[in-house]
């Protein structure tokens, strides 16, 4: 087996989490691998003293296994992407575009790891920088999307968007989504954006409930640089990153979004098929007719 230091990040209240965690631990220990747990997984195993904070676990491992749903994997990716640690997602959630390997496929996964016959799907991430009064106040890297939107009670907001310093326009909308191809099946899809093949080199800009119906989603190159300036005052506006981290925004804050130097490597089974995943997850009907 190529991997000898296995880390686990677990959604603690997921159904079957403890059972699968115990099973995989036994498998990897028998294969003479070292096994490490984040604090939630260690607590689930009733050995909290063995838990490692998520922001430290990447220094111990060469493979991360995530037991949960897409939200758990997005959280885990923040902590390992800069160390180029591949991620294997086991779906204990519901939809599971990122964690698409099922419990029924565990034996197959182990065989693929043993024979090194798995596939690595390298995914684009976006560097997102927030500037206020010409000073950078924060930056993040996202795998799915960066979303600027208003609170439930706020009025429509004005967002000026440029691509490579060229004006794309001023959007009057509930907000705007900048998505990677990986994130094209998430919030961007719900906002009317297109589905992109996950390894394509592109980004999507999708307005959320625009005032002008002619404001449509647009696909641009991942080499482009997007800048979005908030031109609405006295409204509650938030930048949300991968649906998990929120940053309150102020009037004339500038959000710069560009391709990150890091990527997220997802381990897939050799027979993995993105179109089959779409048909299954989005209920697109039978794969063929007789």
Secondary structure letter of residue 193 according to DSSP: P
| Chain mean pLDDT for the chain | 92
Q: Is residue 10 part of a domain?
A: yes
Q: Is residue 189 part of a domain?
A: yes
3-class secondary-structure state, position 16: coil
Q: What angle do CA 275, 278, 279 make, to 5 degrees?
A: 90
Residues 180, 226 within the same domain: yes
Helix (H) or strand (E) holding 110: helix 106-115
Q: Is residue 287 part of a domain?
A: no
Residues 174, 213 within the same domain: yes
- Whole-model pTM: value is 0.92
Residues 6+ apart with CB under 8 A from 215: 169, 171, 173, 207
Buried b (16+ CB within 10 A) or exposed e, 128-151: bebbeeeeeeeebbbbbbbbbbbe
Q: What is the pLDDT of residue 247?
A: 94
Question: CA dist 162 to 8, 184, 205, 212, 255, Å?
Answer: 41, 21, 11, 18, 11
Q: Is residue 288 part of a domain?
A: no
Residues 86, 183 within the same domain: no
Instruction: Tell me the percentage of the chain whose pLDDT exceeds 90.
Output: 77
Our count of domains for the chain comes to: 2
Residues 170, 214 within the same domain: yes
Q: Tens digits of per-residue pLDDT, 13-59?
A: 888 899 999 999 999 999 999 999 999 999 999 998 889 999 999 99
Q: Is residue 183 part of a domain?
A: yes
Q: What is the pLDDT of residue 287?
A: 56
Q: What is the pLDDT of residue 25?
A: 95
Residues 225, 100 within the same domain: no
pLDDT at 288 > cutoff 70: no
Residues 137, 169 within the same domain: yes
Q: Is residue 289 part of a domain?
A: no
Q: Is residue 215 part of a domain?
A: yes
Q: What is the pLDDT of residue 213?
A: 80
Q: Tens digits of per-residue pLDDT, 231-256?
A: 988 778 999 999 999 999 999 999 99
Q: What angle do CA 96, 222, 231 make, to 5 degrees?
A: 95
pLDDT (mean) for 149-170: 90
pLDDT at 200 > cutoff 90: yes
DSSP labels for 42-59? HHHTT-GGGEE-TTTGGG
Q: Tens digits of per-residue pLDDT, 58-103?
A: 999 999 999 999 999 999 999 998 888 999 999 986 667 888 888 8
Q: What is the CATH number of the domain that holds 94?
A: 3.40.50.10330
Using CA of residue 83, residue 223, residue 136, residue 228, what is the dihedral sign?
A: negative
Q: Is residue 142 part of a domain?
A: yes
The first and second tokens of residue 78, run together, are: 């923040």
Residues 150, 248 within the same domain: yes
Count how many Cα atoms sit within 13 Å of the Cα of residue 66 in the half-sphere of its side chain. Answer: 31
Residues 51, 155 within the same domain: no
Residue 41 domain boundaries: 5-118+269-281
| Residues with a known catalytic role | 70
Of 204, 157, 162, 165, the closest CA to residue 183 belongs to 204
Q: What is the CATH number of the domain that holds 130?
A: 2.60.200.30
Residues 134, 96 within the same domain: no
Residues 92, 200 within the same domain: no
Residues 112, 12 within the same domain: yes
Residues 33, 52 within the same domain: yes
């Amino acid at each position: 087996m190529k991997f000898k230091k296995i880390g686990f990040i677990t959604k603690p209240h997921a159904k079957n989490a403890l059972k699968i965690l115990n099973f995989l631990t036994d498998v990897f220990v028998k294969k003479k691998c070292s096994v490490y747990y984040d604090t939630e997984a260690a607590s689930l195993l009733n050995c909290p003293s063995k838990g490692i904070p998520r922001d430290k676990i990447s220094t111990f491992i060469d493979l991360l296994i995530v037991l949960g749903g897409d939200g758990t994997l997005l959280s885990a990716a923040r902590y390992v992407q800069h160390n180029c640690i591949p991620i294997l997602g086991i779906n204990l959630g519901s939809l599971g575009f990122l964690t698409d390997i099922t419990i029924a496929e565990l034996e197959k996964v182990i065989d693929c790891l043993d024979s090194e016959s798995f596939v690595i799907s390298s995914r684009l991430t976006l560097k997102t920088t927030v500037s206020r009064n010409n000073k950078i106040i924060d930056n993040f890297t996202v795998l799915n999307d960066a979303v600027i939107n208003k609170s439930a009670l706020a009025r429509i907001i004005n967002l000026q968007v440029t691509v490579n310093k060229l004006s794309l326009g001023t959007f009057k909308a509930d907000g705007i989504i900048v998505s990677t191809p990986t994130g094209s099946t998430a919030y961007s899809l719900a906002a009317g954006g297109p589905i992109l093949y996950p390894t394509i080199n592109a980004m999507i800009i999708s307005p959320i409930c625009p005032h002008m119906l002619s404001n449509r989603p647009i696909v641009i190159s991942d080499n482009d640089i997007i800048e979005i300036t908030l031109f609405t005052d006295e409204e509650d506006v938030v930048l949300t990153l991968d649906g998990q981290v929120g940053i309150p925004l102020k009037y004339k804050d500038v959000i710069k979004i560009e391709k990150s130097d890091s990527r997220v490597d997802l381990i897939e089974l050799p027979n993995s098929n993105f179109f089959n995943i779409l048909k299954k997850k989005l209920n697109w009907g039978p794969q063929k007719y007789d």
